[in-house]
Structures are given as structure tokens and as C-alpha cells.
């Protein structure tokens, strides 16, 4: 059979499936149309919490990592902390995002945001379920974080090439973040409509299991609204590690003493308290990419905006 006939046959099959599926979908009861595998909507669709996995910290405590999925194709969703956005037990509540952007990164998991935050459960509570609940547009979903299944167990240990989380500091010589839970930086003050500089220092740690590495990789960064009453305007919110490599020029070398400053100008349109998340990644390394859970760290910067 010719390639033309094969392609024509496949296209016809896809068309027939679509013609059959649409009437069948219309015949489904409303409650079945709302299942997660239903067709995407521009707005009014669900925002779902996800449990991404857990990490054994070696001291009896465990870190549980969470993300989310906004199924809307056109609606940026904000769910304030409270009855529609909460974590139980309550001692872990308050660190989750309230802003849920739209993502379209391609692939099966391309609309998900993974590793948006994490909580560490003390050794005496390691068997406790950490349950995150989100309710939006008539949909309500809860996801339990459990440190039981090896399928969900992750590691922050040294690995080959680029899969060791990069480091974030808000001040030189200050506390460091090398994981999803991250650190909280000093509060920045700003006023409505006036740009303010948000900055941090990032570094690829370069300590890779069983490999001697002469050169470190440039770190990618992105500033993301985590919590707050309105979406700020960011100037150059994201820069990839490869873009930094190109800017540095061919043959540029990075040592373990070098730190890259990542900064953005943020303009806030409404007063209130905000939290901005900085994600630093080493996706420029050969075995590291966005689809991997291994390869980025979070840090969080509180911002207080006055009228």
C-alpha cells in the first residue's frame, strides 16, 4: 500500500472516531462529562491538586512534593487560601499556591505544573497523610500525600551528569535552597504601579555521582506568582540555562565559586501580600529536562505591596 493511501486511511479513521465520539459525549450524563478525561473547556473547568512524590530524608522525616493541573485552556484561576484551598493537617496549611496558570508544554503531562511546593513531615508523623483540597467552578478534588509507595519515592542524592538540584540564595553567604520546599527570602516592600527589583543568586552544584566534571552548567530561572491578589507584570521573568550559555559565549567556563544573579523587575497592580516563587533548574545538562522531577529547586520571596 502506498504512503498516500496509508495516510488517507489513517486520516479517515481519525475523522470517524471524532464523528462517533462527539455524539457519544453529548449523550453522557452531566456528572460523567466532568470526569478528568473529558474534553477541555475554555473556562469553568477543574483545577486539580497532584501528589508528585515523597523523599526519605534519612532522619525519619519525609518531604512530600505537590503540583497541580489547571484544565482550563483560557482561564487563569486564583483560589485564595481558605475553604476552597486548604491542606490538612492544618499545621502544613498555607504554603500551597493560590494562583494557577495555564501550561501547554506538549506531551502527556504538559499541562501540569509539578513540584510547585513541598512540606516536610517530622519523623514522629511520617505516616501521616497530607491532604490538599482544591475547589473551583463546582469541582472539588483532594489528593493525599503518602510516604508508602516506592513508585512515588524520589531521591535528592547525587546522580550522573546534571540531575543534582541547583542552589538558590537570596543573599551571598545566606541560607540556601536545594530542593522543592525551598527557603523564604527577606520581605520586599513595593508600592502599586512602581517597579521593584526581585533578585537571587543561583548555581549549578556540579557534584555528580561517579563523574568528574570540569565545567558547571548554566542555570535556568523563572519568577512565578505563587500567592497574591493579582498577577504582577514581570520583566524577563524567565531565562533558560541555554540562553545564559549563549549570552556567555562559546567556551565560557563556570567554576564552583561562580554565582549567577537572576533578577526581574516586578510591577504590582493591587496592594496586598504576595509570595513569588523562584524556580532554578539545570535543564541545560545532558540528562536533565523539564519532564524530570530531579532537576530544580524552589525559593520563595514575600512581597508586601502598599497603595
The domain spans of the chain are: 47-154, 167-306
Distance CA 284, CA 220 (A): 8
Model confidence, pTM: 0.85
Q: Three-state DSSP class for 263?
A: strand
Asked whether residue 283 carries a pLDDT value surpassing 90, the answer given is: no
Residue 77's nearest CA partner among 144, 137, 33 is: 137
- Which pLDDT does position 252 carry in this prediction? 76
Residue 167's nearest CA partner among 275, 298, 285 is: 298
Asked whether residue 187 carries a pLDDT value surpassing 50, the answer given is: yes
C-alpha cell at 97: 499556591
Q: Which residues contact 26 (CB under 8 A, 6 or more apart)?
A: none
Residue 72 banded pLDDT, cuts 50, 70, 90: very high
* Class for the domain spanning 47-154: mainly beta
Asked whether residue 290 carries a pLDDT value surpassing 70, the answer given is: yes
Distance CA 50, CA 141 (A): 10
Please state whether beta strands 296-306 and 272-281 pair in parallel, antiparallel, or not at all (unpaired).
antiparallel
Distance CA 294, CA 63 (A): 14
Residue 210 banded pLDDT, cuts 50, 70, 90: low
- In percent, the amount of the chain with pLDDT more than 90 equals 63
* Class for the domain spanning 167-306: mainly beta
Q: Do domains 47-154 and 167-306 have the same CATH topology?
A: yes
- What is the per-residue pLDDT across 101-152, written as a single tens digit (0 to 9) for each? 999 887 667 899 999 999 999 999 988 999 999 999 999 999 999 999 988 9
Amino acid at each position: 500500500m502506498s504512503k498516500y493511501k496509508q495516510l488517507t486511511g489513517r486520516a479517515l479513521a481519525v475523522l470517524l472516531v471524532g464523528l462517533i465520539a462527539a455524539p457519544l459525549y453529548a449523550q453522557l450524563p452531566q456528572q460523567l462529562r466532568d470526569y478528568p478525561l473529558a474534553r477541555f473547556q475554555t473556562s469553568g473547568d477543574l483545577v486539580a491538586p497532584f501528589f508528585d512524590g515523597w523523599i526519605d530524608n534519612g532522619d525519619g522525616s519525609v518531604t512530600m512534593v505537590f503540583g497541580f493541573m489547571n484544565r482550563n485552556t483560557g482561564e487563569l484561576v486564583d483560589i485564595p487560601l481558605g475553604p476552597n484551598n486548604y491542606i490538612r493537617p492544618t499545621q502544613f496549611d498555607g504554603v500551597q499556591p493560590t494562583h494557577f496558570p495555564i501550561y501547554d508544554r506538549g506531551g502527556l503531562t504538559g499541562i501540569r505544573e509539578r513540584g510547585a511546593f513541598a512540606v516536610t513531615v517530622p519523623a514522629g508523623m511520617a505516616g501521616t497523610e497530607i491532604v490538599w483540597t482544591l475547589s473551583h467552578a463546582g469541582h472539588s478534588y483532594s489528593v493525599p500525600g503518602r510516604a508508602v509507595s516506592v513508585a512515588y519515592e524520589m531521591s535528592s542524592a547525587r546522580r550522573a551528569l546534571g540531575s543534582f538540584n541547583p542552589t538558590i540564595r537570596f543573599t551571598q553567604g545566606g541560607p540556601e535552597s536545594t530542593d522543592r520546599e525551598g527557603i523564604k527570602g527577606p520581605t520586599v516592600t513595593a508600592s502599586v504601579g512602581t517597579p521593584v527589583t526581585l533578585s537571587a543568586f543561583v548555581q549549578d552544584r556540579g557534584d555528580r555521582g561517579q563523574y568528574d566534571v570540569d565545567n558547571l552548567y548554566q542555570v535556568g530561572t523563572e519568577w512565578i506568582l505563587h500567592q497574591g491578589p493579582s498577577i504582577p507584570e514581570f520583566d524577563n521573568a524567565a531565562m533558560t540555562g541555554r540562553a545564559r550559555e549563549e549570552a556567555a559565549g562559546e567556551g565560557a567556563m563556570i567554576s564552583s565559586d561562580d554565582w549567577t544573579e537572576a533578577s526581574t523587575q516586578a510591577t504590582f497592580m493591587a496592594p496586598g501580600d504576595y509570595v513569588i516563587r523562584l524556580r532554578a533548574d539545570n535543564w541545560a545538562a545532558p540528562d536533565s529536562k523539564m519532564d524530570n522531577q530531579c532537576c530544580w529547586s524552589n525559593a520563595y520571596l514575600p512581597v508586601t505591596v502598599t497603595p
